[in-house]
């Protein structure tokens, strides 16, 4: 997708973090913008900011885990702007814990947002984009699915998140191949950020009421403290990631990384597979981090 002006962008998770920055850039590029988020006040802040500067914008409160709500978002998009060109399936939530301790509700919540949100986005918007491609001369579309470096690596104590993000990489690679198979004028990219300061470590603010009464496990509490530390000390900003993402869309790049130097760990994982080794120690370079994680788990469990 080489030009953005006048085209229609849909962004989920637009109330915060990467989603809000995607919205700001889309507005700067004079796109028509559709914002979606589960958190009404944050969504309204983004909408107001864009509308103030004269951007054609609509906002809809949506739980991306719901196919019906994504269908309603698509209907609102077509009603307001008549077409769709650029879709960011970006809404997501963080989650930690030892993989056998996570409750069914945890699995359902995180897979619902991080995986089903992307599935619904793809199965709802791609047919509309294909239809627009048949109708509009010089149509160009693009889909960006937000995964994570956790979609390519499997750090301990964050199993549900890893599973959800690996599935998004798989879905997006397949989407790319399917679009090429039918020679559609639609590109696809998968965004794999590492630690970037956003609201991700406070994801429970938007957890469903079914989780409200559920005590976090010791491992989840430890995971949250550690991920807060890692995310808040991230040097790459959400603005940097959003700018890199738009560049990648324009250049039709598939894999988008915030921290390309971390790809050495992906290479090690691939070598583990090819050489049929057991998975390498993720803390090989920083055994002190593993030791302090173990110590924190023991201390938290004995509370």
Ligand X SMILES: NC(=O)c1ccc[n+]([C@@H]2O[C@H](COP(=O)([O-])OP(=O)(O)OC[C@H]3O[C@@H](n4cnc5c(N)ncnc54)[C@H](O)[C@@H]3O)[C@@H](O)[C@H]2O)c1
Supply the residues annotated as catalytic.
Answer: 161
For residue 128 the two structure tokens come to 């509309």
**Residue 113 contacts ligand X per CB under 6 A:** yes
**Looking at 22, 125, 139, 195, which residue binds ligand X (CB under 6 A)?**
195
Of the candidates 172, 153, 167, 293, the one whose C-alpha atom is nearest the C-alpha of residue 230 is: 293
Side-chain-side CA neighbours of 123 within 13 Å: the count stands at: 14
Q: How far is CA 174 from CA 10, 125, 264, 271, in A?
A: 21, 16, 24, 23
Interface region with ligand X, contact rule CB under 6 A, candidates 52-60, 189-197, 209-217, 244-252? 189-197
**Residue 171 contacts ligand X per CB under 6 A:** no
Cα–Cα distance, 43 to 38 (Å, whole number): 8
**Looking at 1, 26, 91, 140, which residue binds ligand X (CB under 6 A)?**
91
**Looking at 55, 60, 157, 206, which residue binds ligand X (CB under 6 A)?**
206
Which residue(s) pair with 191 in the sheet?
Answer: 146, 256
**Looking at 8, 196, 218, 256, which residue binds ligand X (CB under 6 A)?**
196
**Residue 198 contacts ligand X per CB under 6 A:** yes
Nearer to ligand X, 141 or 199 (CB): 199
Q: Do 231 and 64 contact (CB within 8 A), yes or no?
A: no
Q: Report the nearest approach of ligand X to the CB of residue 159 (Å).
A: 14
Q: Do 61 and 73 contact (CB within 8 A), yes or no?
A: no
Residues 224-263 interacting with ligand X (rule: CB under 6 A): 231
**Residue 199 contacts ligand X per CB under 6 A:** yes
Q: Do 206 and 110 contact (CB within 8 A), yes or no?
A: no
Q: Report the nearest approach of ligand X to the CB of residue 44 (Å).
A: 12
Q: Is 103 helix (H, G, I), strand (E, B) or coil?
A: coil
Report how many residues bind ligand X under the rule CB under 6 A.
31
Residues 4-63 interacting with ligand X (rule: CB under 6 A): 12-13, 15-19, 37-39, 42, 62-63
Nearer to ligand X, 199 or 223 (CB): 199
- State the distance between the two ends of the chain, measured CA to CA, in whole angstroms: 54
Beta strands in the chain (DSSP E): 8-12, 32-37, 57-61, 86-89, 141-146, 186-192, 255-257
**Residue 162 contacts ligand X per CB under 6 A:** no
**Residue 90 contacts ligand X per CB under 6 A:** yes
Binding site residues, ligand X, CB under 6 A: 12-13, 15-19, 37-39, 42, 62-65, 90-93, 113, 146, 148, 193, 195-196, 198-200, 203, 206, 231
């Amino acid at each position: 997708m080489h030009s953005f002006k006048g085209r229609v962008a849909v962004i989920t998770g637009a109330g915060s973090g990467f989603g809000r920055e995607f919205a700001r850039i889309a507005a700067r590029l004079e796109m028509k913008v559709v914002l979606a988020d589960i958190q009404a006040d944050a969504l309204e802040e983004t909408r107001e900011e864009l509308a103030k500067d004269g951007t054609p914008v609509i906002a809809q409160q949506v739980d991306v885990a719901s196919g019906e709500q994504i269908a309603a978002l698509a209907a609102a998009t077509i009603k307001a702007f008549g077409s769709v060109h650029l879709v960011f399936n970006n809404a997501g939530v963080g989650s930690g814990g030892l993989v056998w301790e996570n409750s069914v509700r945890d699995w359902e919540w995180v897979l619902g947002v991080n995986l089903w949100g992307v599935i619904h986005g793809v199965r709802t918007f791609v047919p509309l984009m294909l239809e627009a491609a048949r109708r509009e001369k010089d149509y160009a579309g693009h889909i960006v699915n937000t995964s994570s470096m956790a979609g390519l690596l499997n750090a301990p104590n964050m199993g549900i998140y890893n599973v959800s993000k690996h599935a998004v990489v798989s879905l997006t690679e397949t989407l790319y191949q399917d679009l090429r198979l039918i020679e559609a004028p639609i590109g696809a990219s998968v965004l794999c950020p590492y630690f970037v300061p956003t609201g991700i470590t406070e994801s429970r603010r938007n957890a469903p009421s079914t989780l409200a009464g559920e005590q976090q496990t010791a491992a989840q509490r430890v995971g949250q403290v550690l991920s807060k530390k890692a995310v808040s000390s991230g040097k790459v900003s959400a603005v940097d990631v959003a700018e890199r993402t738009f560049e990648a869309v324009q250049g039709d790049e598939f894999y988008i990384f915030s921290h390309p130097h971390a790809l050495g760990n992906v290479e090690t994982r691939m070598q583990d597979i090819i050489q049929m080794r057991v998975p390498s120690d993720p803390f090989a370079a920083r055994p002190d981090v593993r030791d302090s994680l173990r110590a924190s788990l023991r201390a938290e469990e004995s509370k």
